[in-house]
Structure 1
Amino acid sequence: MTDVPALKPERPFFSSGPTAKFPGWSAANLKTEALGRSHRSAIGKARLKYAIDLTRELLGVPDDYLVGIMPGSDTGALECAMWTMLGARPATVAAWESFGNVWIQDAVKQLKLKDLTVLDADYGDIPDLASIPQGNDVVFTWNGTTSGARIPDTDWLETGRDGITINDATSAVFAQEMDWAKLDATTFSWQKVMGSEAQHGMLILSPKAVARIESYDPEWPLPKLFRVKKGDKLNRGIFVGETINTPSMLATEDYILALEWAKSIGGRKALFDRADANAKILTDWIEATPWLRNMVADPAKRTNTGVCFVFQGEYYDSLSPEDQAAVPKTIAKMLEERGVGYDFNGYRDAPPSLRVWCGGTVEAEDITRLLPWIEWAYAEIQK
C-alpha cells in the first residue's frame, strides 16, 4: 500500500506549453507604460526592440543574423519560413512527433512541393538524418515537443551546405545550445521554454536565409502575415520591432520580464543547468520505476524539457487498449483535483503517456515532490 505523500509541489505547473512562469513571477512586476499605446509609438517600438535585443543576447545569436517577432506563435514563424523559402530547390521534411508531422502536411498538401522527401519515425525515435542530401533544403524539429526525442547533435548538417535549414526549436531554445552556424531559419514561441504568454513567435534568420528570401519568389500566394519583403528586399523593420501585425504589448512585457529573470540568474547556461538537473531527477526516477519507461529508448536522444514516459508491467499489460489509454488521463486528473500537478497528461496524438515539463522555469523540488504522488495515484487505480 502506498501512503498519501506528505508534501505537494509549491508550484504544480508542469504543462509543456504554456509552461510554468519563472520562480517569483508576479503580474505586479510587469511594466505598463507601453500598454494602451500604439505599437508604432516610440515607446512601443522600443519595448519590442528590447525584447528582440534581449533574445539575441541570451541566445548568443551571431551579430549578422536577424531576430524578429512574428504573429501566430511558433507555427506562424515556422510556416512563414516554409512559405517564403521552400520550393527553390529539393527539400526534405523530417518529423518524429505531432508538430513535425504538421510541417510534413504543409509541404505535401499546402505547398505541394514537387521535389520533396519525407523522413519520419515513430514516437521516441528519430529518422536517419544523415541520409539527407546536403543540397536539399531541410525542415526539422530540434526537440520533439510531444515525444521527448531530440537530435543528439548536428553532425548530419555540413557547415556551408548548399541547402537551407529551417529549425523548429520551440521546445529547445533556452534549454539546449543552438548550433547557429548550421541554422538558417530558427523559430520558437514565447510560451514554451520561458513560460511567457502565447501568440507571438520568433524568427531568426541567417545571411543565407536573407539571401534566399531576397532572390526567390515562390509560385504560391503569400498571406499578408507571411509577406516579409518590400519589393525585392527583406523588410528589415520587422527585425527591429516593426511587426507585421499588431502585437500584444502586455504579452511583450511578460516575455521581457522572463528574459530579464533569465539574465539575472546567469543567462542561458543557468537555464541549461536547471533543465538538465530537473530532467535528471525525472529520468532517474523513471529508470528506477519498473512499471514505467522513457518514451525515448536512446539516452542520447532524450530531451531535458518535455520528458515523456509510458506505462508497462503485468498490471498495465493486462488491461484493454481502452483501459490502458485511460491510465495516464486518470492519474493526471487525480493529481489536478488535489492541486498536486496540472496539465501533464501526454499529448493527445502521442501514445498514452505522461509528459512532465522540466525546463528552467520549473523548480527541482517541485519535480521531486510530484513523483511520489504519481506512484500513489497509480497504486490507487489498481485497487
Structure 2
Amino acid sequence: MKRALNFNAGPTALPEAVLKIAEKEWLNYKGTGMNVMEMSHRSKPYEEINTQAQALLRKLLNISDDYEILFLQGGASLQFTMLPMNLLEEGKKGYYALTGSWSEKALKEAKKIGDAEVVASGKDNNYTTIPKLTDLDSLENGSYLHITSNNTIYGTQWNDIPSNLNLPLVADMSSDILCRPIDVNSYGLIYAGAQKNLGPSGVTVVILKKDLLERSKDSLPSMLDYRTHAKNDSLYNTPPTLAVYLLKLVLEWADSIGGAEALETMNKQKAALLYNEIDESNGFYSGHAEVSSRSLMNVTFTLNSKELTDAFLSEAKELGFTGLNGHRSVGGCRASIYNAVPLEHVEKLAQFMKDFRTR
C-alpha cells in the first residue's frame, strides 16, 4: 500500500514505526489476548501504560516533580473553559494575548467564567505576526497570562516567550508541543490536544504546577476540577485508553530518535525547505506570516490567483499529497509539518512547488 503524503493540520500523520508496533500488538497486547481498547483501565497492564506515558513526557520535556501531568478528554477546547474555572480567581483578571482563532475562542470562553482582558493582539495585521508584549510589569490583579504558542491557521509561532512575570504563564501548545525543547518551569500550566505532535485525537495533556491546584474551588463539578484528576492519576473515570497507549508509543519513538533536541533540528530542516522555496519564488508564492513569526509546524502561503491555487491543489492531490488546503477562514495553502511528517515527504513537496512554479 502506498502511504499518503500527509500534511493535514490535525489529526495528522503518526510515525510509521508507531503504527507498525500498534498493528503488531493489535490483537494481543503483551500476552493479554486483548487489544488495549478491550482491557480494564483498572488493570495492571493499562496502569503501566498510563505510568510509562507520564514518565516519558516528564523525561522528554524535563518536567520536575513540582508539576502534575494529566491525561484528560475534551480537547484543548474544553481547556478554554476548564482553565478559567480552576485558575481565574475572584476579583482578578485572566489576561490573553490574541494571535489567531484559537486564542480568540479561549478568550470568549474565559469571559463566560469571569473577568478576561486582551493585553496584546495581532488581529489588526490579520495575524501575520506575533504581537509585542510590553509593560507586563503593569499587569495588575491578574490570575494568569494566556498565550497560544503556535497558530495553525495563520502559520505563526511564539519565539520569545514572556518571562519574569508576576503571574503564571499559561500556554495552549496543541500544535507545537515537543517540536523543540522548552523550559517548563517558565509556565504555570501547559495544555495540548495530542492530535498534532503527541498522538491521536481523544486525549489532552495538561502539565500543571501543583501549587496552582489550591485555586480550584470545591463548588466545581468533579470532572472539571483539576484536583479530581490529579488525585486519581488521570484514572477518575474511564480514560481514552487507546489514545493514551498510542501517545506512549509516540513518546517512545521521540525518545528513541533523540528527544526534543533532535526533533527541533529535524523540524528546522523541514521548515527551511518550504520557506526557502517561498522566498526564492519572486512572489509566485507569498507567505502569510512575517519572517520573524514563522511557524516550524504550519507553513502558510498563497498563490497569485484562485485559478493557480486550484491548479496547485489539484495537481498535488493527484501526486498523493493531502491536507494542503488552507483553512477555510483564510484560504490559500498550508503545509502542516509536525514531528511525524518525514523529511522525505517535505522534500517531495518542496520539489513539487519548484516544478509547479517553473511550469
Shorter-normalised TM-score: what interval?
0.7 to 0.9
1:171 matched to which residue of 2? Answer: 175
Whether contact under 8 Å (2:99, 2:151) holds in the other structure is yes
Cα deviations across residues 288-344 of structure 1 (Å, max 9, x unaligned)? 1121122111x33211111111234xxx3xxxxxxx3x75455334422x1421112
Q: Which residue does 1:255 correspond to in 2?
A: 247
Over aligned residues, Cα RMSD in angstroms?
2.5
1:53-92 aligned within 5 A: 53-88=55-90, 89-92=92-95
In structure 2, what residue type is equivalent to 1:117?
A: V
Q: Is the 8 A contact 1:59 1:173 kept in 2?
A: no
Which of 51, 54, 60 is matched with 1:52 structurally?
Answer: 54
Paired letter, 1:147: Y
> Is 1:348 aligned to residue 354 of structure 2?
no
**Counterparts in 2 of 1:329 and 1:60: CA distance versus 1, 3 Å:** farther
Q: Which residue of 1 aligns with 2:5?
A: 12
* Residue pairs, 1:109-128, within 5 angstroms: 110-111=112-113, 113-114=114-115, 116-117=117-118, 119-121=120-122, 122-128=126-132
Give the TM-score taking structure 1 as reference length.
0.81
Q: After superposition, give the CA deviation of every residue in 1:178-229 in whole Å (9 maximum; x if it has no partner).
A: 23222011011221113x210110000113423333xx56xxx745531233
Q: Which amino acid aligns with 2:226?
A: V
Residue deviations 1:3-38 (CA, integer Å, cap 9, x gap): xxxxxx965011121121114332424463443122
> Does 2:340 match 1:361?
yes
Q: Could you list the runs of 5+ residues in structure 2 that have no partner in the other structure?
A: none
Contact 2:71–2:204 at 8 Å: present in 1 too? yes
Corresponding residue of 1:28: 23
Is 1:187 matched with 2:188? Answer: no
Alignment match of 2:231 (pick from 232, 237, 243): 237
Q: Counterpart in 1 of 2:166?
A: 162
Partner residue of 2:313 out of 332, 344, 351: 332
**What is the alpha-carbon distance in structure 1 between the residues aligned to residue 308 and residue 100 of structure 2?**
21
Match status 1:197 vs 2:200:
yes
Does the 8 Å contact 1:68/1:203 carry over to 2? yes
Unaligned runs of 5+ in 1: 1-8, 317-323
Contact 1:93–1:118 (CA under 8 A) maintained in structure 2: yes
Q: Which amino acid aligns with 1:288?
A: E
Q: Counterpart amino acid of 1:80? A: M
Shift of 1:177: 2.5
TM-score by length of 2: 0.86
Q: Percent identity?
A: 21
What do residues 121-178 of structure 1 show as CA deviations (whole Å, max 9, x unaligned)? 1222122322444443211101112111111212x331xx332222101112111322
Q: Is the 8 A contact 2:213 2:226 kept in 1?
A: no
Go from structure 1 to structure 2 and tell me whether the alpha carbon gap of 1:63 and 1:134 turns closer, same or farther (over 3 Å shift).
Answer: farther
Check conservation: 1:55, 1:259, Cα contact below 8 A.
yes
For each residue in 1:11-67, what CA deviation from the matched residue of structure 2 results, as whole angstroms up to 9, or x when unmatched?
Answer: 501112112111433242446344312212232222112111111111111221111
Tell me the distance in 1 between the aligned counterparts of 2:212 and 2:43: 29
In 1, the alpha carbon distance for the partners of 2:203 and 2:327 equals 22
2:257 aligned partner: 265
Aligned to 1:303: 295
Distance in 1 separating the partners of 2:95 and 2:194:
27
SS in 2 for 1:272: helix
| Secondary structure class of the residue paired with 1:172 | coil
Q: 1:76 to 1:53 in 2, by over 3 A?
A: farther
CA displacement 1:88-129 (0-9 Å, x = unmatched): 422211121111111121123x22x33633532122212232
CA distance in 2, matches of 1:12, 1:254: 21
Summarize the Cα distance change of 1:327–1:79 in structure 2 as closer, same or farther, 3 Å threshold. Answer: farther
Alpha-carbon distance in 1 for matches of 2:134, 2:249: 39
Change (3 A) 1:163 1:361: same
Using the alignment, how far apart are the partners of 1:69 and 1:39 within structure 2?
13
Return the letter of the residue paired with 1:353. Answer: G
Q: Which has the higher contact order (CA 8 A, sep 6+)?
A: 1
Q: Which moved more, 1:286-295 or 1:369-378?
A: 369-378
CA contact (8 A) 1:16 1:192 kept: yes
| Amino acid of the structure 1 residue aligned with 2:157 | R
